[in-house]
Amino acid sequence: MVANRGHLTHVFQPSNPVAFDIKTSVQQALKETQYDGKDSMSTHEHLSRFYKTCQFCVPPATVIENQKKRRLFVFTLTGRAKDSLLSIPNGTIQTWDELELKFLERFFPMSKLWEKKHQITNFKQGENETLYDAWERFKLLLKRCLTHDLSEKVQLQVFTEGLSQHHKMLLDASAGGSMRVKIDHEVQTLIENMTQNQNRAAADKGKRGVFGVSEGSAIVANQTTINKKLETVTKIVQTLALGQLQAQQGQVQQVQHEGVKCDFCGEGHTNGECIPEGLSEEANYMGNFQRPNNP
């Protein structure tokens, strides 16, 4: 075993190794999401992807599933994770279960298990977190700790208890009064439906609120045209309304004028606004009489 730039050069060899051709497409799929042993990566997510990729590899009938996984797993590792695998003495790994256990003991010890499990059982919805985002985050916590040993009932209780009061009320209302009357599968289906509907509604709202440059320019131009037309119509309506008001005022004045008669002379004016014939001359005479003579 020779060291080369910090990496071990020998190839991992389990007991009773098998050799078979691996398609290039399968090798590429195995290397797309290689695990490097860092805390930012999830061991259980890595194993889950590995299981799915293994389904696309069909070795000869003489190669059993156990042997296939032991052969392929090395392609999914890089960095210190691969170094850890290569440090295992040859011939000491009999089965895939043993290799998986070695991998988890190294990169997902009991201390990390309790840490991840604590994050699950103490789940709380964020202050501005939507129901959809909270549900997706909770499922991701479960996915990153597949050995949490929490039943479906406990998982749903932890999630719903961690929600805001507003979303608890929404779920209860959607359940017909209370989620407690529903079985576990029904509660999960209810949550899935509500979160998906919320996500679609948010996506549709985003589409309605986003426009391209050309679409935005067209909207502005159309709005300008509409505003001009509204101004013209407003002026016409105001002119018609003013003319109608003036006509009504003229009719009122005419009616008022026609309906008033002086009791003294019988003319169309109010009492006291007329001077009977003969009185006008007397009024002028009295005015001249009272006017002092000029020296």
Q: Taking residues 162-178, report their average pLDDT.
A: 90
Distances (CA, A) of 214 to 114, 218, 220: 55, 6, 10
Distances (CA, A) of 183 to 153, 180, 189: 9, 8, 10
Helical ranges in the chain per DSSP H: 24-32, 43-54, 65-72, 79-86, 96-107, 110-121, 131-143, 152-161, 165-174, 184-209, 213-258, 279-290
- pLDDT reading at 184 higher than 80: yes
7 falls in which pLDDT band (50, 70, 90)? very low
Burial class from Cβ neighbours inside 10 Å (0-12, 13-18, 19+) for residue 170 reads middle
Bridge partner residues of 35 (DSSP): 77
Distance CA 18, CA 25 (A): 20
Residue 214: what pLDDT?
47
Residue 207: what pLDDT?
64
Q: Are 44 and 52 in contact (CB under 8 A)?
A: no
Residue 244: what pLDDT?
63
pLDDT digits (tens, 9 = 90+) for 226-278: 566 556 656 665 666 666 666 666 665 665 555 566 666 666 666 656 655 55
177 falls in which pLDDT band (50, 70, 90)? confident
Mean of pLDDT over the chain: 79
Residue 240: what pLDDT?
63
**pTM value?**
0.57
Instruction: Considering only residues 266 and 107, tell me which one the structure prediction assigns the higher pLDDT.
Output: 107
- pLDDT reading at 158 higher than 80: yes
Distance CA 175, CA 56 (A): 41
Residue 51: what pLDDT?
95
